[in-house]
Structure 1
Amino acid sequence: MTVNRRTLGIMTRCQGSHFIDKGYYKKLTLFGRKQGIRVFVFSPRRVNFTSRTVAGYEYRNGAWQSDTFPLPAFVYDRCFVGPAYRNYKPFVDKLQNDRNITFLGHGLSGKWQVHQMLIHSPILAPALPPTELLTYSTLQATLDQYGSAIIKPMAGTHGIGVARITERRGGYDISGRNKENQPFRRVLKEPGGLKSFITTFTAGRKFLVQPYLDLHTPDGSPFDVRVLVQKNGKGEWETTGKAVRIGDKRSVTSNLHGGGKAVPLTPFLARHYKPAMRARIEQSIDHLTAELPRFLEKSHGRLVELGIDVGIDTAGNVWIIEVNSRPGRTVFTMINDPKARLHSIAQPVRYAHYLMKERVGGY
C-alpha cells in the first residue's frame, strides 16, 4: 500500500479495541476531517513492515471501526511511558527510523534525562529542585541536608510510586502512593528499616530523590500548576492554558488520578498570595514555560506539546517539578475553560497540517 500524505496516525497502547482517551481521539478525528486529514488510532505492535500496513481503528458512522490502513505519513505519539513500554519500544524505534514517516514530536524518555538536559539552561536550572538518582546513600545525604525527601519513579505517571520520607526521633515517617495509586503511611521506628523499605518499595525500578519542597496551601493541600504548551499551525510554541491541580490533604501529590481537583490559576493565586507576590509568581511561570520547550528541543529534538508542572512553595518560589511530552487535557474541562479545551485538541492537528505543507510543498 502507498502512503497517504494526508494521514495522521495516533500511536497508542491498544489492547484489542481497548485504548484510553477515546473521547479525545474522537474529537481529533472529527477536527482532522474538517482539515482534510484522515486520522486513525493504532498500536505500534500491529504494524506490518513488509506490507507497510497497520491494523487500527477509525471513528466513523458514530463508532470506532477496525480496519487495515497504509502506514501513516505523520504520527502523533501517545504511547505513555511506564513498565509495559519496553514491549512497545522496539516497534516505536523502527517507526521513528522510517524515512517516510514524520513524527509530530518524539516522546521524552524519563525524568532523569529531562533534568540532565534542563540543568544546562542558566534560566531554568535555578528552578530545578536538586535531583539525584536514588540510592540509599543519596537518600541519606538528602535527608541529612534537608530533613525530608521525596522519591519518585523515573518513568512514573499520575503520582504512582511517589513517597515522602521524613526523619522523626530516630526513625522515619513515610507517606505517599503505592503502585496501585492508593495512599499509604508507614512509621519506621528503627533507622535500619529504611533500607529494607526502599528495596521493597522500588522493586528494582529506577527512582529519583529530591528534597521535599513545601508545595502546599496554608491549610496543607498539595498543589501544582499545569501549563500546557503546544506547537500551533505555524510551527511556533504557544501556551494553550494553565490550571491549578489541588490534591487531597492526605496525599503528597496533586495528581487528578489520585483524587485531586482542578481550579483556575488566577483566582487561586489571588486567594493565597498578596498582589505583588502574585504578579511575581505569574511572571516567573510565564518566563520559565516560554523558555523551557525551546531549550529542551535543542537537546532532545522535535516536540509537539508539553505539560509543564510547576510548583510554588510557601515562600512564593517557583519550581519546575515535571515535564510530560504526552500530557492530558482533563484540567481544562474541570475548570470550564472551553477555549483552552478546544485549542488543546485542535493544535496537534493544526501542527500536523503545517508539517504536511512544509514536507510536500503545499501538497
Structure 2
Amino acid sequence: MTAKQKSLGIMTRCHGPHFQEKSYYKKLTLIGRKAGIHVFVFSPRQVDFESRTVAGFEYRNGAWRSGIFPLPDVIYDRCFVGPSYRHYKPFVKKLQNDPQITFLGHGLSGKWQVHQMLSKSPELAAWIPPTEILTIAALREMLVTYGAAVIKPSAGTHGAGVVRIVPTLNGFEIVGRDRKNEPFSRMIRTAQGLKSFIASFTAGRTFLVQPYLSLHAPDGTPFDVRVLVQKNGLGTWEITGKAVRLGDKRSITSNLHGGGKAVPLGPFLAQHYQPEVQARIEQEIDRLATELPPYLEKVHGRLVELGIDVGIDTAGNVWIIEVNSRPGRTVFRLIDDPKARLRSIAHPVRYARYLMKSM
C-alpha cells in the first residue's frame, strides 16, 4: 500500500483467519485493486485506537494473509447483527464517530424500527402489511381480524423463527421454522397452550405479528421477489437486479437458507399471472424500489445497498416483506444473471471510490 493509496476496510465479525463471505471479499479486493484502492478485511474488535491501526487480512498472491494496516479511509460494514453483536457494538460505534473515517452506509436495526420508519411515508405505507410487536392481545386481534397470523423475530435472518398460526375447529395449527431454521408443524388444542407455546418459542426475544398473507403461487409454492438496490459510482441509487426466490411447498417462507431456489422474475410472473396483472406488478416493484431507498436514507442516515424482499399475494397485490441493509448476492448466481452479479459486487467499490474523490 502506497502512502497516497486510499483504503477500503471490510468490517466483519472474523475470528482470526475464519470469516464468512471470503469469495465475495476476494472479488471486492480484485475490483478495488483495479481502481487503485487497497482492500482488507478486519474485525472491529482488533482496532488499536491509540496507534490508529488494525490487525486484519488482505488477499494477496492467491491467499489471505494477515497484516497490520492503518485504519481505512472508508469502511464497508458487513457485521451481521445477531445475539453476539453486543460484543462488537461499542467498537463499531467508536469507528462511526471517528471524523477521519467514512462509512459506506450505516446498517439498519431491527424489523420493527424499519417498519416504524417506512410506515410514516404516505407513498410506501400502502405496501406495508399491518404490523405490531407480538403480545398475546395483539396476536388475538390479528387472528380475529384476518383469520390467520404470522410471527417473526424482529432481529431474525434467513427465515428462522417465522411461524404461521391458524385457528381451526380443533385449536390452532402451527407451521413454521424453528431457531435452527428447521421446518416444523404442530397442533395446539387450547388458547392457554398457544400462550405457553409463544412464551417458550420467543424466549424473551422481541417478535412481530402480522396478518398471514397468501404469498404463494397457485400450486402452493411460497415465493418472494428479492430486489437489490445499490449506490453506484455516481453516488445515486440503482436497481442492480431482481429475482424470484421459491420455497419448499412444506414451508411458509422462500428463503434460500431454508432450502429454496431462485428463478428469473419475468418468466415466473408470466407463468402465473395475466399479462396486464404482470405488467402492473412489475411497475409497482420498480416504483417501490425507486421510492424506498432515498426515503429510508433520509430518515435513517447514509445507506449503500438494500435487499428489498417483496411479497405478491394470490390476488396480485404487492407487499414489502423485509428490508435488509446487508444483503447477499447468491440469488443472481442461481438465476444465471452474470451482469447483475458483477454489478452487485462492483457497486460498493465504485461507490467507495466516489466517496474518496469527494472527501
Structure-to-structure mapping, 1:31-180, within 5 angstroms: 31-180=31-180
Structure 1 alignment gaps of length 5 or more: none
Structure-to-structure mapping, 1:200-211, within 5 angstroms: 200-211=200-211
Measure the CA separation in 1 of the matches of 2:5 and 2:213. 48
Q: Which residue of 1 aligns with 2:335?
A: 335
Measure the CA separation in 1 of the matches of 2:210 and 2:47. 40
Instruction: Name the aligned partner's letter for residue 154 of structure 1.
Output: S
Instruction: Name the aligned partner's letter for residue 155 of structure 1.
Output: A
Measure the CA separation in 1 of the matches of 2:174 and 2:104. 41
Q: 1:37 to 1:10 in 2, by over 3 A?
A: same
**Structure 2 residue matching 1:127: 3-state secondary structure:** coil
Measure the CA separation in 1 of the matches of 2:235 and 2:293. 13
Does residue 282 of structure 1 match 2:282? Answer: yes
Q: Which residue of 2 aligns with 1:257?
A: 257
Q: Once superposed, what is the RMSD of the aligned Cα atoms?
A: 1.1
1:63-96 CA-to-partner distances (Å, cap 9, x unmatched) read 1101111111100000111111111111111110
Return the TM-score normalized by structure 1: 0.97
**Structure 1 residue matching 2:8: 3-state secondary structure:** strand
**Structure 2 residue matching 1:244: 3-state secondary structure:** strand
**Structure 1 residue matching 2:230: 3-state secondary structure:** strand
**Structure 2 residue matching 1:109: 3-state secondary structure:** coil
Does residue 307 of structure 1 match 2:307? Answer: yes
Measure the CA separation in 2 of the matches of 1:5 and 1:78. 22
Measure the CA separation in 1 of the matches of 2:285 and 2:328. 19
Measure the CA separation in 2 of the matches of 1:190 and 1:120. 37
Measure the CA separation in 2 of the matches of 1:147 and 1:263. 31
Say which is worse superposed, 41-50 or 24-33, in terms of deviation. Answer: 41-50
Measure the CA separation in 1 of the matches of 2:250 and 2:182. 11
Measure the CA separation in 2 of the matches of 1:77 and 1:239. 20
How many Å apart are 1:159 and its aligned residue?
Answer: 0.3
Measure the CA separation in 2 of the matches of 1:4 and 1:347. 23
Q: 1:107 to 1:5 in 2, by over 3 A?
A: farther
Contact 2:143/2:167 (<8 A) preserved: yes
Measure the CA separation in 1 of the matches of 2:270 and 2:84. 42
Say which is worse superposed, 75-84 or 314-323, in terms of deviation. Answer: 75-84
Measure the CA separation in 1 of the matches of 2:60 and 2:12. 19
Matched length: 358
1:189-224 CA-to-partner distances (Å, cap 9, x unmatched) read 122101110111011111100000000011111100
Does residue 19 of structure 1 match 2:19? Answer: yes
Contact 1:3/1:72 (<8 A) preserved: no
Return the TM-score normalized by structure 2: 0.98
